[in-house]
Chains A and B, each alone.
Chain A
């Protein structure tokens, strides 16, 4: 299925990240936005409030982020592609119902334009400090998909990609962008309608009497989805349920297959989901592993380091979750050190360390949020990692 007709503003633009995100959603077929204003994500909501009525979509400003997340789930269960956008404090409020979305297996997109935390923190300034929360924020065991764009163009592209992943895997997908990317204005190219690939959820092929909402064929992990009004008279619940969607809470017999499948849905499909970008890692002695804004601001330090004779390359995580365990382990086997700059006090670096299994030195270049890395700090970290302390 190609990108939707009205709504695709094909062309070249000088566009703010948040606006590009909204445009990406509309290109992907999103016709419902339920959100709550929060800096620095408000522009996404504002743009959606302007554009959705023009494409027969509905924008609603809910009373808080809990309501927003739920409205998005409800709209998805009515058959719509639905999205919300928030920042750290709202992200925290959405956690319980993100879990509901995961448990009900609801396709939807949640954009987090990260800002300085904790708590109210730095509303207008960048951070990447919700990355662990993206993986573990809701209670219980589950797996999640999180994408990290580095530019407004990528934010546009990854928002479309997020919707497609959500529909394929029947799960909420997180777009973990940040205040820099969100508020930066840069060139964004919106392709013509025919070039936009859009995927929609699989519908049941059997009649209502034979349909079980959570039954999968052997070897499959994602059930086809009937929604309200399709005539299937489905029931679904946030309680642990069996294939009929009915609660099965008397003991753990349904818990095992359900939770395992929710995790496997994503973990067993890692190879299809993970997107990485490598640059200059052949014969590198140091690898810089990063994502989002921090990956972008590592480019200059890497170039400087190369001029000093250090063989250093970049591995950019476009998908941060599910985490590329295998690829990091392989990388750690090839290089001597890994440097992980991120705009937080060391979150994804823990995953890198875990996967490196001691094969390479892993060091963090933390930042509490409020600004991007001082490139000299990243350069020093690369030098230290290469064993060239203090200058050339």
Chain B
């Protein structure tokens, strides 16, 4: 990129200072997923052993399998490591403000109901700062697919406590161990009215991909909670210095129990991680409810 941008002269070449140098086929080869990725922005910023790359791979694979028209898929993210997903997908994508991905996505969907809107963000973004918007979108059964990657902390900013940090969790703002009760993301979604709720760790990649496909094709508020390692922000403070250690932890502690009442699926340190499809019901979406009511009352 040259030393001028929009007629303004740059002091330094933009090329030297962009976030990532981009992939080059002669050096990095070609991967079958590359056409869905913004390879000019890779390698991504996520740490070695972070599960986000896996969540993204499963999502792109699920998207392909869903058969949706990719020109009509829009991805909205908030802020955080998971929030960076929007920037890596070669789709219409929006990187918005912390906690506000869901209302932005609501506006997108209502602005053009033909769009398939996906919100891809983290636990801190969606249920901590964004909690209010999360429950209301679920309440309205707004047609959107929400992928919530839960790594139990605010990873991007160094590993602070969030609303999903388990009791006893060591973070930079809970140095003596968290003593606040955490949210159970799946239970929160189900209680708020979500029509599809599933939880998988990134270890169970194939089932995660399948759930994501189901969630993408399901009308209404569909949530997939993805439990993911965060070695830098969370894992290493809990004797899981590498992502691999956390994956082995999931192997040992993960239990698949479809149809469990989400209220019985709390995640605690050292405890069982219940995974599976918890909720899959049918309910008219916001736009269907609106249509029905308006046609009754207004004859249109």
Contacts and interface: CB of A to CB of B under 8 A. Distances in A.
B71 A229 contact: yes
A243 B90 CA distance: 16
A253 B14 contact: yes
A100 interface: yes
A254 interface: yes
Nearest to B7: A218
Contacts of B19: 246-250
Contacts of B103: 34, 62, 66-68, 70-71, 74
Nearest to B8: A257
B110 A247 contact: no
Given A54-B298, A243-B6, A250-B17, A75 B108 contact: yes
A275 B289 CA distance: 44
Q: Chain B, interface size: which category?
A: 35 or more
Contacts of A100: 96-97, 100
A308 to B, nearest CB: 54
A229 B97 CA distance: 21
A14 B6 CA distance: 49
Interface in B100-122: 100, 102-112, 114-115
A231 interface: yes
27 contacts: A32-B107, A63-B132, A66-B100, A67-B106, A70-B106, A70-B107, A72-B107, A76-B111, A78-B109, A78-B115, A80-B112, A96-B97, A100-B97, A227-B92, A230-B71, A231-B71, A232-B92, A233-B90, A235-B38, A235-B87, A236-B95, A237-B94, A242-B5, A242-B14, A246-B87, A253-B11, A253-B14
Contacts of B12: 251, 253
A276 interface: no
- Which of B6, B71, B91 has the largest number of chain A CB atoms within 10 A? B6
Enumerate the 8 nearest inter-chain pairs by beta-carbon distance, A residue then B residue, closest first: A74-B107, A78-B111, A75-B111, A237-B95, A71-B107, A257-B8, A67-B103, A78-B112
B93 interface: yes
B133 interface: yes
Given A236-B95, A257-B10, A77 B132 contact: no
B14 A248 contact: yes
Given A219-B7, A239-B95, A77 B18 contact: no
A238 B71 contact: no
B136 interface: yes
A251 B17 contact: yes
Contacts of A235: 38, 86-87, 92-95
Nearest to A57: B110
Interface in A58-94: 58, 60, 62-64, 66-68, 70-80, 82
B91 A71 contact: no
Interface in B61-105: 71-72, 74, 76, 86-87, 90-97, 99-100, 102-105
A53 B290 CA distance: 9
B27 interface: no
Nearest to A72: B107
A260 interface: yes
